[in-house]
């Protein structure tokens, strides 16, 4: 009888231990997302060594995927097929994602390294108080060019791209806002214009650029400029920095009529499964040493004031990539123009590309 009692007691104890263990496992899974986070970022936009470092320091595995446009990123997050924990959209996309309830508020108490960010890049109109986003990188849209292939020609104005001597020498980045925006800026219009007359005028002017355009592509721009397969590229400042690192003959300028000043930020999508891990990742990326290493690798401008102190002064003092506040005043941030107007921009961009194929 005592043996039966002892056996029964043992079963009860073992059952209690198993129940407690399952409870702990379920609690851990709920807070740590099975020890992993999914990060959704632009291509070539993080130092891979930092992902490994984060995994080693936290024990959290990073599942990393890339996107090639804000629009494709927003569509995938909205569809909800994959639960991303951190993503890096641009400012106008953040506004749209807020409107569509695709973002979770960020708990600043879990981001102590936020103190490292230059106040200039905080509390911007697209996200007052940084309720939903934390600065990652920033930069401009401008013209990268190789003067050794152009008999010393420079580019102070967007209109310089229309020079007849540049036939089949110009590459354009494959993005509607950048290309239509360039056309608008060349006419001294806002790159956020919603005036259909101005948009038509800009598109018609872009069509006259067609003979000079060699290709409209994405990340391949860097390689084509490196191999000197083209002399000029309308691109983002970080891509230009990559070109210049590979080929010292290449230069970069932002035309006098103005251009785009953009900000990419880290956000937590509303479908996130590991919110605590997402905060850990964001805080890790804001560490001064991490931010400096990441900026050196990626080539874009960092908003991390403490990180800049650890970088080469020749880099951080280069006004082509770290323009002064006075220079930034003639640049515009993309606004969320709404789905209908964005569709018009995309249609006009497609019209321009189809016209080139004639």
**What pLDDT digit, counting tens, does each position of 175-186 carry?**
999 999 999 999
Provide the whole-model pTM: 0.82
The pLDDT value given to residue 310: 98
Q: What is the dihedral of CA 197, 332, 226, 229, to 10 degrees?
A: 10
The pLDDT value given to residue 231: 96
Mean pLDDT calculated for residue range 334-351: 93
Q: Binding residue per annotation — 20? A: no
Domain residues of the chain, as ranges? 36-138+264-323, 139-261+333-357
pLDDT of 194 higher than 70 = yes
CA angle 187, 185, 125 (to 5 degrees): 140
The pLDDT value given to residue 184: 98
The pLDDT value given to residue 16: 43
Q: How many residues does the chain have?
A: 358
- Which has the minimum average pLDDT: 193-207, 291-305, 322-336? 322-336
Task: For domain 36-138+264-323, give the CATH superfamily.
Answer: Periplasmic binding protein-like II (3.40.190.10)
Q: Label residues 235-256 b or e (16+ Cβ within 10 Å = b).
A: bbbbbbbbbbeebeebbbbbbe
Number of C-beta neighbours around residue 192 at 10 A: 17
Least Cα distance to 186 among 162, 159, 156, 213 occurs for 159
pLDDT of 72 higher than 80 = yes
CATH topology of domain 139-261+333-357: D-Maltodextrin-Binding Protein; domain 2 (3.40.190)
- State how far the Cα of 104 lies from the Cα of 132, in Å rounded to an integer: 6
pLDDT in tens, 76-88: 999 988 899 999 9
The pLDDT value given to residue 357: 81
pLDDT of 3 higher than 50 = no
Q: Give the whole-number percent of the chain exceeding pLDDT 90.
A: 79
Number of C-beta neighbours around residue 209 at 10 A: 21
**Average model confidence (pLDDT) for the chain?**
90
Instruction: Give the C-alpha distances (Å, rounded to integers) separating 20 from 6, 15, 230.
Output: 21, 8, 66
The pLDDT value given to residue 19: 43
Q: Binding residue per annotation — 84? A: no
Q: How confident is the model at residue 287 (pLDDT cuts 50, 70, 90)?
A: very high
Mean pLDDT calculated for residue range 56-63: 97
pLDDT in tens, 212-270: 999 999 889 999 999 999 999 999 998 999 899 889 999 999 999 999 999 999 999 99
pLDDT in tens, 4-43: 334 444 444 444 444 444 333 333 333 333 599 999 999 9
pLDDT in tens, 114-155: 999 999 999 999 999 999 999 999 999 999 999 999 988 999
Mean pLDDT calculated for residue range 312-320: 94
């Amino acid at each position: 009888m005592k043996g039966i009692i002892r056996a029964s007691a043992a079963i009860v104890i073992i059952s209690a231990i198993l129940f407690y263990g399952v409870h702990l496992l379920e609690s851990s899974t709920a807070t740590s997302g099975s020890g992993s986070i999914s990060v959704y970022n632009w291509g070539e936009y993080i130092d891979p060594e930092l992902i490994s470092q984060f995994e080693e320091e936290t024990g959290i595995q990073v599942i990393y995927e890339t996107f090639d446009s804000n629009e494709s990123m927003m569509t995938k997050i909205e569809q909800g097929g994959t639960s991303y924990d951190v993503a890096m959209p641009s400012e106008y996309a953040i506004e749209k994602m807020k409107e569509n309830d695709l973002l979770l508020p960020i708990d600043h108490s879990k981001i102590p390294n936020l103190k490292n960010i230059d106040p200039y890049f905080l509390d911007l109109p697209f996200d007052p108080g940084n309720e939903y986003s934390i600065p990652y990188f920033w930069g401009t849209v401008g013209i990268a060019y190789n003067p050794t292939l152009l008999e010393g020609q420079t580019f102070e104005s967007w209109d310089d791209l229309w020079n007849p001597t540049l036939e089949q020498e110009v590459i354009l980045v494959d993005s509607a806002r950048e290309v239509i925006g360039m056309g608008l800026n060349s006419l001294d219009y806002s790159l956020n214009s919603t005036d259909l007359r101005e948009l038509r005028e800009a598109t018609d002017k872009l069509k006259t650029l067609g003979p000079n355009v060699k290709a409209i592509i994405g990340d391949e721009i860097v390689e084509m400029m490196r191999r000197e397969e083209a002399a000029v590229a309308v691109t983002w400042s970080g891509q230009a920095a990559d070109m210049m690192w590979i080929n010292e003959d290449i230069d970069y300028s932002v035309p006098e009529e103005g251009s785009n000043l953009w900000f990419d930020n880290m956000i937590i999508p509303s479908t996130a499964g590991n919110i605590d891990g997402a905060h850990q990742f964001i805080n890790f990326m804001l560490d001064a040493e991490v931010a400096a290493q990441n900026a050196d690798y990626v080539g874009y401008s960092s908003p991390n004031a403490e990180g800049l102190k650890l970088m080469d002064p020749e880099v951080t003092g280069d006004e082509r990539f770290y323009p002064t506040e006075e220079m930034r005043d003639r640049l515009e941030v993309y606004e969320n123009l709404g789905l209908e107007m964005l569709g018009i921009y995309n249609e006009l961009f497609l019209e321009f590309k189809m016209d080139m194929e004639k």
